[in-house]
Amino acid sequence: MSAPEYFRDAADYHDWWFFSGTALGAANAGETFKMLHEQLSEAGANTVIAVRFLHENERGIDPQLWRRTFVFGHVGLQVALTLRALEAIGAVGIVRALRSSPARPSLISQAQEMVRTGNYDPGEISEIIDGLRQDIAVGISHVQGGVSDELRAAIPQPRTAEGIETREDVRRLLDAYVAARQDELVRDVAQYGDPRRHPDFDPDGASEDRARRIKQLNYLSYQRNAIDGLREQLHKLNALAEKEPPESPRLNKALRKVLAKYETFAEKPPEDLTLDLRAWLRDVERFRETHPEALEPKASGDERVNSRLAAIGPHEISYDRETPSIWWRRPAGLDCDWTEFRLTFEVVLERSPDPSLVAAALGALCDEFGRLQARWPELCPGLERHVVDLFRGTISDYLPADEREAYEDDEGEISAEKIRDAIESGTIVLTHHFAGSVHTEVYFRVSWDEEHPLEVQLDEDGEILSCF
């Protein structure tokens, strides 16, 4: 009596592969397929690739729609290894159809060519737009299992052709292929184990672990690709720090670029970083120890001005141009019980301004902030009323009904409390332009528009300018 088969069918083998920990972290399908052939048996790699092809053609086998919608990244490798898998299981009709119809340029490539050449054919543009809409609808439906009513009509019907195997044919061929190659497939299990057979195996937990592992591997790959550029940025920063003052715009820009990357990587656990990246972090820390002055440029050569700035609170200074930008996370005297306010000073002068002009401009900004502090008990509630009235009178009319409802009370009226809760933070920007007066603007980060802050302007007397 022969031993029972380990894998019931192709779906069972694919299920094992999914939890096996193999072929993870590739940048695209083609690279994944290559890893499958490197890590699994020939039969195992062919099975996984063919099952994937079956899944992607879930509404019916349409080789051209598949090529257009699901082939990306390392295109040649993906198509070649898919053909190899389909040929191995005996789906010769699909193989013949794919080989006899060469791939056309992608829709994006066609659009880019139109822009490059300036040849705009209205009919072709319409076809490209319709094609992109179809591809998006098919992709979303495949990933999410369904689409909105608006996109459902865009999903094209599969175009079957004579001599092409159906999904049922492919499934039967796949299962027969797996049944005939049990010994080869079981060797994959012997090499990597079968976590599904563990008594404590949890499919949901294992899926989450797999997703985390893929994310980690992708992040490590990103670091390997980025490290040369990071080293070049740090090399440039070191060279600038040796020859330019802390107030140099070039030095400041290079420093912020490096520190922004440093903060991103430094917050990650060590196991999520490559050895090269960890070494780069240490090099950045060494720079900070060697060039502390580069981290603390001065706003002015006049220490009286610097003292006035310090009195407002701890602040940061940068030089995007030859004049400083200064910002406070918690400026003194701007207490508020409905949001948190930050403060920014901007100085706009002619090229290579005299230091005395910079000091005078900063002094004028400090004077204006002093006036703003003095009237803050009146201005703060005025800003609150202004935002609430602006939302009720204008903004709410442009929101979709479901978003508007989020700001309504039980009676269907716009709630001032819910509007206040949606104000995430405020930034007061005082700008000194050349010899003119100081201009004051307030920007609010609000949840109803995450891309654009809500802007409020004050006039020369510090009064709120109404825009409705």
201-215: pLDDT as tens digits: 999 999 999 999 999
- Residues 115-128 have a mean pLDDT of 69
**pLDDT tens track for 150-187:** 555 555 666 777 889 999 999 999 999 999 999 999 99
Look at residue 5 and tell me if it is in a domain. Answer: no
Look at residue 328 and tell me if it is in a domain. Answer: yes
Look at residue 81 and tell me if it is in a domain. Answer: yes
Same domain, 280 and 404: no
More confident position, 58 or 466: 58
Positive or negative torsion for Cα 379, 383, 389, 394: positive
Domain boundary among 201, 219, 247: 201
Contacts of residue 428, defined as CB under 8 A and 6 or more positions apart, other chains included, come to 331, 334, 341, 342, 343, 344, 372, 440, 441, 442
| Residue 1, pLDDT score | 34
- Domain hosting 401: range is 303-458
| Residue 2, pLDDT score | 44
Same domain, 159 and 17: yes
More confident position, 462 or 4: 462
Residue 425's DSSP bridge partners are 445
Look at residue 42 and tell me if it is in a domain. Answer: yes
Residue 431's DSSP bridge partners are 346, 439
pLDDT at residue 284 above 60?
A: yes
Same domain, 245 and 394: no
Same domain, 194 and 263: no
Distance between the two ends of the chain, CA-based, in angstroms? 87
Same domain, 51 and 175: yes
Same domain, 240 and 274: yes
| Residue 113, pLDDT score | 61
**pLDDT tens track for 402-427:** 999 999 999 999 999 999 999 999 99
Look at residue 147 and tell me if it is in a domain. Answer: yes
- Residues 246-256 have a mean pLDDT of 95
Share of the chain above pLDDT 90, in %: 73
Look at residue 90 and tell me if it is in a domain. Answer: yes
pLDDT at residue 311 above 70?
A: yes
Look at residue 364 and tell me if it is in a domain. Answer: yes
**pLDDT tens track for 323-382:** 999 999 999 999 999 999 999 999 999 888 899 999 999 999 999 999 999 999 999 999
Burial code of 239-272, b = ≥16 C-beta within 10 A, e = fewer?
ebbeeeebbbeebbebbeebbebbeebeeeeeee
| Residue 104, pLDDT score | 61
C-alpha angle 286/290/291, rounded to 5°? 115
Same domain, 56 and 104: yes
pLDDT at residue 321 above 70?
A: yes
Domain boundary among 180, 201, 222: 201
Which pTM value belongs to this model? 0.69
Question: How many structural domains is the chain composed of?
Answer: 3
pLDDT at residue 136 above 70?
A: no
Same domain, 189 and 238: no
The mean of the pLDDT values for the chain is: 89
C-alpha angle 165/167/172, rounded to 5°? 85
Domain boundary among 140, 171, 201: 201
* Structure tokens given for 162: 């004579």
Same domain, 92 and 120: yes
Same domain, 21 and 60: yes
Q: Rounded CA gap, 115 and 109, in Å?
A: 10
pLDDT at residue 274 above 90?
A: yes
| Residue 231, pLDDT score | 98
Look at residue 463 and tell me if it is in a domain. Answer: no
Same domain, 111 and 230: no
**pLDDT tens track for 288-301:** 999 999 999 999 99
Q: What are phi and psi of 4, to 5 degrees?
A: -65, 150
**pLDDT tens track for 83-94:** 999 999 999 999
Q: Rounded CA gap, 290 and 287, in Å?
A: 5
Same domain, 240 and 348: no
